[in-house]
Amino acid sequence: MHVHILGICGTFMGGIAAIAREAGHVVTGSDRNVYPPMSTQLETLGIRLTEGWDPAQLEPRPDVVIVGNALSRGNPVVEALLNRGLPYSSGPEWLANHVLQGRWVLAVAGTHGKTTTSGILAWILEHAGLSPGFLIGGVPGNFTVSARLGAAPFFVVEADEYDTAFFDKRAKFVHYRPQTAILNNLEYDHADIYPDVASIRRMFHQLVRTVPGEGRLIVNAEDPELATALALGAWTPIERFGRGAGAEWQVRALAADWSEFEVRQGATRVGSARWALIGAHNAENALAALLAARHAGVPIGAALEALGSFRNARRRMELRGGVRGVTVYDDFAHHPTAIAATIEALRNRVGTARILAVLEPRSATMRMGVHRDTLAGSLSGADLVFLYEPADLGWDVRAAAAALGARGRVIGDLDALAAAVAADARSGDHVLVMSNGGFGGLHGKLLTLLGRAP
């Protein structure tokens, strides 16, 4: 079968391409911007890429066109696809019909932590010798790919609540029909497609409706929105996790930065783990993955052992370098809750050392100004805050930063931003750069400037 993928260079669609190629299909694809590293990875797999949306790419006629959710009506190749009556599908629908049928699907859903939790779960199953398939929104550190078919029956999928395609406005995750579903958290996000948190909650409940009665829901016990969603109806056994006494399964810190923690079931200590990650939020991610793996038959003890060798995906508190005593990290945090959790985790690791937080308000929700009133509070744990304000942002970052007082700096030029951070940084500082994009190569610019400092 010849599969042609529109929007192939996104992480999810690139994963679909890799799985389709592994399954023996001829795969081609296109995207608006075709460049390394994704283009290199795909070409290594033997996938021919086209840059742009010229309808000529639909010749020779593919057997099916998989359409990414970045494409919409009016796009030349989409209009040609429809006019010619070619068979088409969304990525989640194709995955469900051609890969997930007959598999034990373990889906990881939540506003935050999906990639990390999915990576942990896939590694636990791999460590247990189960060779799971997976599709994750990043390349987990223990693997060289973001997606693979794996061996039956287990398949781990990062279950995104973003919409599926221009012709299917449901959340991606309603297609997956998991046997095991993790519900990590639920907050308002994706303001470009959801008008309010209630609309996201309804989608989460659609996911709940698809989990069989003999399956399992692994649910954050301390999330009020998830509790509201489940109150709409749940037909599957639920295991609740968290840090508080109200959770059946709990994590407790054994080190200030949560690099070591213990797991309890009620009052009973089940075991402990020491690992490379930090932060209470990551310990909770790990507990959710432990419980999902337990449902798949992996004992808690074996799963805890696997955590010791777990390596996270890139851009999750990733160390980018250290120059003249200044340490620079890259993190994907872009929602106030994730920003605050990331800073708290680093604070618990570095103690009283200075943290310089550098943030790009890049996500659609952030660019729409939805988080302007909570942004300063999420950054309050840092000693200095540098906010990037692109010219086309559309709202006043300075007003949002006013609550930070003298600690807050707003700069609208990337080179000037890098120079300002480098000028303020001193030996012993930790610079935490946060964005869900490339941030214009800021990390490299900053490390270069720090290296030139007298």
Degrees, nearest 5: CA angle 158-94-155: 40
The reported pTM is 0.87
User: Tokens 């939790």 — which residue?
Assistant: 117
Residues ≥6 apart with Cβ < 8 Å to 427: 324, 325, 326
Please provide residue 143's backbone torsions phi and psi, each rounded to the nearest 5 degrees.
Answer: -130, 165
Q: How far apart are the first and last CA of the chain?
A: 60
Closest alpha carbon to 120 in 102, 101, 134: 134
Asked if 331 and 316 count as a contact pair (C-beta separation under 8 A), the reply is yes
In the beta sheet, which residues pair with residue 252?
262
The torsion of the CA quartet 132, 332, 372, 279, rounded to 10 degrees, works out to 80
Answer yes or no: same fold for 102-307 and 318-452: no
Q: What are the extents of the domains in the chain?
A: 2-92, 102-307, 318-452
pLDDT of residue 36: 66
Residue pLDDT, tens place only, 188-211:
777 678 889 899 999 999 999 999
Rama region for 39: left / alpha / beta (φ>0; ψ in -120 to 50; rest): alpha
Asked if 354 and 430 count as a contact pair (C-beta separation under 8 A), the reply is yes
What tokens does 424 get? 């303020």
What tokens does 216 get? 């399992």
pLDDT of residue 420: 85
- CATH for the stretch 2-92: 3.40.50.720
Q: Which DSSP category does 193 fall into?
A: T
Residue 269: what residue type? R
Name the CATH superfamily, with its identifier, for domain 318-452: Mur ligase, C-terminal domain (3.90.190.20)
DSSP letters, 389-402, are --TT--S-HHHHHG
pLDDT of residue 369: 64
The CATH architecture that domain 102-307 belongs to is 3-Layer(aba) Sandwich (3.40)
Asked if 218 and 180 count as a contact pair (C-beta separation under 8 A), the reply is yes
Note down pLDDT in tens along the chain; length 454 residues.
999 999 999 889 999 999 999 999 999 999 998 766 677 778 888 899 999 999 999 999 999 999 999 999 999 999 999 999 999 999 999 999 999 999 999 999 998 889 999 999 999 999 999 999 999 987 788 898 889 999 999 999 999 998 999 999 999 999 999 999 999 999 877 767 888 989 999 999 999 999 999 999 999 999 999 999 999 999 999 999 999 888 999 999 999 999 999 999 998 999 999 999 888 989 999 999 999 999 999 999 999 999 999 988 767 777 888 888 888 988 877 778 888 888 988 898 889 999 998 988 877 666 666 777 777 778 888 899 888 887 777 777 787 778 788 888 888 888 888 888 888 889 999 999 988 777 778 888 888 888 775 5
